[in-house]
Amino acid sequence: MTTTGQVHAGSTAKVTADPIVRLASGFMAAKHLFAASELGLFEALADAPADLDALASRTGLTRRAARISADAMVALGILEREGDLYRNGPAADGFLAGKAGSDLRPLLRFWNRISYPAWVDFAEALARGPVQEVFELDEEEQAIVTAGIEAALAGPANALGQVVDFSSSRRLLDVGGGTGSWSIATARRYPHLKGTIVELPVVAALAEQRVAGAGLADRLAVVAVDAMADDLPEGHDTVLVANLVHYWSPDTNAALLRRVRAAVQPGAKLLLADFWTDPTHTEPVHAALMAGEFAAHLRAGDVYSVDEVRDWLPAAGWCFVEHRPLTGPQSLILAEAV
């Protein structure tokens, strides 16, 4: 068996630097995409194709700038070009043009304005820890982060109610529930379900707005609580902890699981959604890359394998039930209170 970087004896295959160059130039593709989104390139093509003169006029860019951005997006498969006309490709039309439905522009804004600067000093962050944790951002920056995370996780949030049957659940406790997107999506699918979203004060205020806007204020309460320090609300038969575990060390996560267990009765369900990996921490690939994102923003953040979480559960009062896929690199660990 050959390993990565080896070639069979007698093979005529030529080893090139192409894989390295493709990876090393990846920042160029990312920044092209971020800039095109921020400059409104995709919205400018939402209603009709355009040539460079029309595209420049719609975006307020010079013809040269419009050409550089549009041609890069064509080369990367985001825009399409026929003759002199540019149009949004299917992905851009569905997720970047400002149409109703899933909108990934907040995610690109988050990655461009918050994540990318942190990755500039990534080697330093790995060696000595991040200069600034995500918790230390100002209120405006935190709003960008929150909106970006909500956009990134819209798919898994909407999939939760399909992957898990909440028919027998009555009250859902959403710990670290962000803007409430997971609870909102699930409550819409299960009209009988009521719940409580627990978040820090700044994000809790956003969650209240989202819940009210969704017309669910009578079924979903929002409580400003520090899940790592304060007592959690009781009286719930199902607990969701979505994308919170990757913020913390194993010891802190074990403590969190104990705190959650103390708030529920035996038989309660626990749903842990995150970038759970295989035992090697290399699959899914995006999860392995997200470990770097967490290291760039968090002093203890990391991705964890399903087996690691399974080992934490018994001492915290939980029994592992199963592991299920959600969407993309996100998956779900199910457990039950003992």
Nearest Cα to Cα of residue 96 among 10, 34, 29: 34
Distances (CA, A) of 218 to 175, 196, 221, 236: 19, 11, 8, 16
How many other β-carbons are positioned within 10 Å of the β-carbon of residue 235?
Answer: 12
How many other β-carbons are positioned within 10 Å of the β-carbon of residue 107?
Answer: 20
Question: Do 235 and 265 meet the contact criterion of CB atoms below 8 Å apart?
Answer: no
Catalytic annotation present for 281 = no
> Residue 100 carries which side chain, given as an amino acid letter?
A
Which residues have CB under 8 Å from 33's CB, separation 6+?
73, 76, 78, 108
Catalytic-labelled residue, pool 8, 32, 236, 246: 246
Nearest Cα to Cα of residue 148 among 188, 178, 185, 117: 178
**Catalytic annotation, residues:** 246
